[in-house]
């Protein structure tokens, strides 16, 4: 998911201001979009299933004066694809009217849910984000701020969150820093968003990463920040840099583009002398583009745009069922025959999850006349689920849990398949120990807690 929070010292058209950064974060979720903002002192929420421009486009034609608001784009990890699960989630409780937008998953949500259900809580949707509102409401603390801080200490796993209550914008990031979050400011106008590309579009150039464990309050008195908790280690999601974030963004104080370029270079180094047997490098657009460019730069092979992408389709993986994903790949990518015919191709993509995308693409390239197809992935082999907000399917569906790279090559019809191993991926990051690689190496920074083990 993607989140945005805005506060302004003077009145502005906040719904319109929210539209643009949310539009920039569309790649982080295409199932639903929504905003909450203060309208004449009252909190209102508008959200629906669909893309940002469809759901929120109407705000471009209206002038609604406000000072604070939050927004969300949804991609489902917990909870199904239903309108009740679209965020922000607004509720009235003993601590006032609150709205929340959340990116990440709580790894102890089952545990917290069963505790709260025992106490009589009623859940209106199936996302884990609603938990936060329940915990705030159940808190015995006498102020909202104290109740919020208490709540944050119950939460485990991944949360980059924004919240609005009266004229206050609350911004917080979990102590391990799983999901990115940026904050920037210009002339009394404060914007926070999942990635820096969403601040760029509002011409906010003075920005920084919200720290892991940081809680920020923005209101008419200015900005207040504190560290509410520290963790033994950081666990920034390496998959954000490999795949999820936009290449023109900064996340985790790192350039996404530079990281991907380096991953491609290391992939080429790994191939060594084998490169002599290849004619050209191509990417699976768009997620493989930057790594493929890195591979080309390092290897000296020419980089060709051998697959044309139809831009009027969404991200294929993001679709909820396998059948829909298969059709989506064919609708999205088509080979350029005169480039691939009779060629020995290095095909760079970011990752193999189920292997659906690659097997269809390899087939397409072969029927366009490709002589050889060598698939290279800038992600390591995915070996386990993610409990922190990326939709990695169950172990059984992951192709790498049951097949070696050689078997995968056979399965998808490629001449060879090679991944970037975790230790080589680490060389692409500064402070590699501050990242999570759990879905690759099963070293989970926090174990998920279920409802049973109390
Ligand atoms: P596969 O077809 O192997 O199941 O999925 C691989 C493709 O989906 C890659 O091209 C990659 O760009 C994209 N992808 C890989 N992992 C993820 C993920 O966790 N979430 C989403 N949304 N897309 C992914
Ligand atoms: Fe990212 Fe994988 Fe860790 Fe999930 S398990 S946070 S996808 S690196
Ligand atoms: Mg892709």
Q: What per-residue confidence (pLDDT) applies to 454? A: 32
User: pLDDT tens for residues 250-280?
Assistant: 999 999 999 999 999 999 999 999 999 999 9
Say whether both 114 and 198 belong to one domain. Answer: yes
Task: For residue 440, report the distance from its CA to the centre of ligand 2, in Å.
Answer: 8
386 is in an annotated binding site: yes
Q: Which residue has the higher pLDDT, 87 or 328?
A: 87
Would 452 be classed as within a structural domain? no
Say whether both 217 and 287 belong to one domain. Answer: no
Q: What per-residue confidence (pLDDT) applies to 55? A: 96
Average pLDDT of the chain? 94
Number of domains in the chain: 2
Of 162, 161, 189, nearest to 174 (Cα)? 161
349 is in an annotated binding site: yes
User: pLDDT tens for residues 43-68?
Assistant: 999 999 999 999 999 999 889 999 99
Rounded Cα gap, residues 130 and 113, in angstroms: 10
Q: Which ligand is nearest to the CA of 442?
A: 2
Would 243 be classed as within a structural domain? no
Encoded tokens for 290:
């930057």
Say whether both 211 and 266 belong to one domain. Answer: no
Say whether both 272 and 342 belong to one domain. Answer: yes
Would 451 be classed as within a structural domain? no
Ligand 1 neighbour 339 (Cβ under 6 A): no
Is omega for the bond preceding 88 within 30 degrees of 0, making it cis? yes
Average pLDDT estimate for 346-351:
98
Say whether both 216 and 282 belong to one domain. Answer: no
Say whether both 379 and 286 belong to one domain. Answer: yes
Task: For residue 209, report the distance from its CA to the centre of ligand 1, in Å.
Answer: 26
Say whether both 278 and 393 belong to one domain. Answer: yes
Say whether both 196 and 332 belong to one domain. Answer: no
Of 396, 405, 389, nearest to 438 (Cα)? 389
Would 144 be classed as within a structural domain? yes
Would 56 be classed as within a structural domain? yes
402: pLDDT strictly greater than 50:
yes
Rounded Cα gap, residues 181 and 444, in angstroms: 21
CB-CB contact of 437 with 380 (8 Å): yes
Ligand 1 neighbour 408 (Cβ under 6 A): no
Give the number of the atom of ligand 1 that is nearest the alpha carbon of residue 239: 19
Catalytic member of 1, 192, 197, 428: 1
Say whether both 315 and 205 belong to one domain. Answer: no
Q: What per-residue confidence (pLDDT) applies to 82? A: 84
Say whether both 196 and 152 belong to one domain. Answer: yes
Ligand 1 neighbour 392 (Cβ under 6 A): yes
For the residues of 336-397, what is the DSSP string, one character each?
-HHHHTT-EEEEEES--SSSHHHHHHHHHHHHTT-SEEEEEESS----S--SSS-----GGG
Bridge partners of 183? Answer: 192, 208
Would 206 be classed as within a structural domain? yes
* Domain harbouring 339, CATH code: 3.40.50.2020
Say whether both 297 and 194 belong to one domain. Answer: no
Instruction: Return all residues near 276 (Cβ < 8 A) that are at least 6 apart.
Output: none
In this structure, the strands spanning 372-377 and 344-349 are parallel
401: pLDDT strictly greater than 70:
yes
Encoded tokens for 148:
């919020």
Range of the domain at 126: 2-232
Average pLDDT estimate for 122-150:
92
Residue bearing the CA closest to ligand 2, atom 1: 237
196 is in an annotated binding site: no
CB-CB contact of 291 with 348 (8 Å): yes
Q: Which residue has the higher pLDDT, 449 or 250?
A: 250
Where is 265: in which H helix or E strand? helix 256-271
Give the number of the atom of ligand 1 that is nearest the alpha carbon of residue 284: 10
Would 193 be classed as within a structural domain? yes
- Does 153 qualify as catalytic in the annotation? no
Q: Which pLDDT band holds residue 315 (cuts at 50, 70, 90)?
A: low
Give the number of the atom of ligand 2 that is nearest the alpha carbon of residue 440: 2
Say whether both 79 and 138 belong to one domain. Answer: yes
Of 24-28, 114-118, 123-127, which one has max mean pLDDT?
A: 24-28
* Domain harbouring 101, CATH code: 3.60.20.10
Q: What per-residue confidence (pLDDT) applies to 316? A: 54
């Amino acid at each position: 998911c993607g989140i945005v929070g805005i506060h302004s010292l003077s009145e502005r058209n906040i719904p319109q201001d929210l539209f643009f950064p949310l539009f920039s974060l569309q790649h982080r979720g295409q199932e639903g979009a929504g905003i909450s903002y203060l309208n004449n002192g009252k909190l209102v929420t508008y959200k629906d299933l669909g893309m940002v421009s469809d759901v929120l486009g109407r705000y471009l034609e209206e002038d609604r004066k406000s000072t604070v608001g939050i927004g969300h784009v949804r991609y489902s990890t917990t909870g199904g694809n239903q309108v009740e699960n679209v965020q922000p989630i607004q509720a009235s409780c003993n601590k006032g009217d609150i709205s929340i937008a959340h990116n990440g998953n709580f790894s102890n949500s089952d545990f917290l849910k069963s505790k709260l259900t025992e106490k009589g809580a009623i859940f209106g949707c199936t996302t884990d984000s609603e938990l936060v509102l329940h915990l705030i409401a159940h808190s015995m603390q006498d102020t909202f701020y104290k109740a919020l801080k208490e709540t944050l200490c119950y939460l485990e796993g991944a949360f980059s969150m924004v919240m609005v209550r009266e004229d206050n914008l609350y911004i917080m990031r979990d102590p391990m820093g799983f999901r990115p979050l940026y904050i920037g400011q210009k002339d009394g106008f404060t914007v926070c968003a999942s990635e820096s590309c969403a601040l760029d579009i509002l011409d906010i150039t003075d920005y920084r990463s919200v720290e892991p464990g940081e809680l920020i309050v923005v209101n008419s008195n200015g900005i207040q920040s504190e560290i509410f908790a520290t963790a033994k280690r950081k666990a920034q999601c390496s998959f954000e840099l490999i795949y999820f974030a936009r290449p023109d963004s900064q996340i985790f104080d790192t350039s996404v583009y530079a990281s991907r370029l380096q991953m491609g270079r290391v992939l080429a180094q790994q191939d060594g002398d084998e490169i002599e047997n290849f004619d050209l490098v191509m990417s699976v657009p768009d997620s493989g583009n930057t790594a493929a460019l890195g591979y080309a730069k390092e290897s000296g092979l020419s980089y060709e745009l051998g697959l044309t992408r139809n831009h009027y389709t969404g991200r294929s993986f993001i679709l909820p069922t396998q059948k829909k994903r298969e059709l989506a790949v064919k609708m999205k990518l088509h080979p350029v025959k005169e480039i691939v015919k009779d060629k020995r191709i290095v095909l760079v993509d970011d990752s193999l999850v189920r292997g659906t995308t690659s097997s269809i693409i390899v087939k397409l390239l072969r029927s366009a006349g490709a002589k050889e197809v060598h698939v290279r992935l800038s992600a390591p082999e995915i070996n386990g689920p993610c409990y922190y907000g990326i939709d990695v399917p169950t172990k059984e569906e992951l192709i790498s849990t049951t097949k070696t790279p050689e078997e995968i090559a056979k399965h998808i019809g490629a001449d060879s398949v090679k991944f970037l191993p975790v230790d080589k991926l680490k060389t692409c990051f500064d402070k590699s120990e501050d990242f999570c690689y759990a879905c690759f190496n099963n070293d989970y920074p926090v174990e998920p807690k279920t409802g049973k083990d109390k």
